[in-house]
Amino acid sequence: MIDNSNFLGNGFGMGNRGRPKIDVTDTDLVELNNFIDLLLFLSKQQERFNQISNKTDFSDDEIKLIKSNLREMNVHKKRIETLEIIRFKTKTTQQLTDLEKEILSYDLSKRDDFFNCHKALNTYIRLEKITHSEIKRIDHKVRNERIQKVRKEQTDGQKRRKENERRKYFLGGVVLKYSQFLKDNYLFGPQDSEEAILQHLLEDFIVCNYLSDVTNDNEDKAANVRKVIKNNHSEIIEKIRNVAREIENDKRR
């Protein structure tokens, strides 16, 4: 097969959508002339440009023709890059697709093969663009789903934290209310803190539970049980006092 990569160029341009505005300059005309001179086969619009290329003044229709050829020249560069990439794949372990095999099968020294190769390259580029867009769309979708999941988890966590804070605030108000009630009824002094009141109530509650198991008519035994508990011989009382010490050393006090 003859390597005619330098001669790739035809009238099968890519789609017309989203075309950037092209202002024709003398440099553009020189580049376009050089490009067309290297082509083995010319499209109709390239032949038409050859007929006016030596002019110095162009009509509006001729300017449009020049711009169209400039766009085709830019697309040609993309096709050249794509063809070289496909050729390079033959030197690797990558498997060629059916379309890639078709593109490489054309003999670019033959006119029909030349233009058919261009058609195939344009199709290949268009499919590659669609594939990349689809990959980006899927990646974007997956990324959005992950973001939504994280946001939901954060929202749920915030709701739980707010509920916990609300509950703590409520319970704090309950403790203060009961403490004030006990102080107002002279069961505790005004100097007693809420922490001390709670500790005292808990210890008395444990003592009462123990005493309920003691025969009520044996006052000596009951007094002895109370004494043992109050002298730290009760594991549960010791745990309560450990909690009290932790509360006392809490930096949030």
- Spatial separation of the C-alpha atoms in residues 92 and 95, rounded to whole Å: 8
- Alpha carbon distances (Å) from 184 to 81, 131, 181, 191, 197: 91, 79, 5, 12, 13
Quote the pTM value. 0.46
Higher pLDDT, 218 or 65: 65
State pLDDT tens for residues 68-83: 989 998 898 888 888 9
User: What token pair was written down for 61?
Assistant: 């229709």
Lowest mean pLDDT among 13-17, 93-97, 152-156: 13-17
- Alpha carbon distances (Å) from 220 to 228, 229, 237: 12, 14, 21
Lowest mean pLDDT among 38-52, 191-205, 224-238: 224-238
- Spatial separation of the C-alpha atoms in residues 8 and 17, rounded to whole Å: 23
State pLDDT tens for residues 139-174: 777 777 777 777 777 677 777 888 888 888 777 777
238, 232 in Cβ contact below 8 A? Answer: yes
Higher pLDDT, 18 or 123: 123
Burial of 173 (0-12, 13-18, 19+ CB in 10 A): exposed
State pLDDT tens for residues 206-219: 666 665 655 455 56
Long-range contacts of 33-40 (CB under 8 A, 24+ apart): 35/9, 35/73, 35/76, 36/9, 36/69, 38/6, 38/7, 38/9, 39/7, 39/8, 39/9, 40/4, 40/7, 40/108, 40/109, 40/114
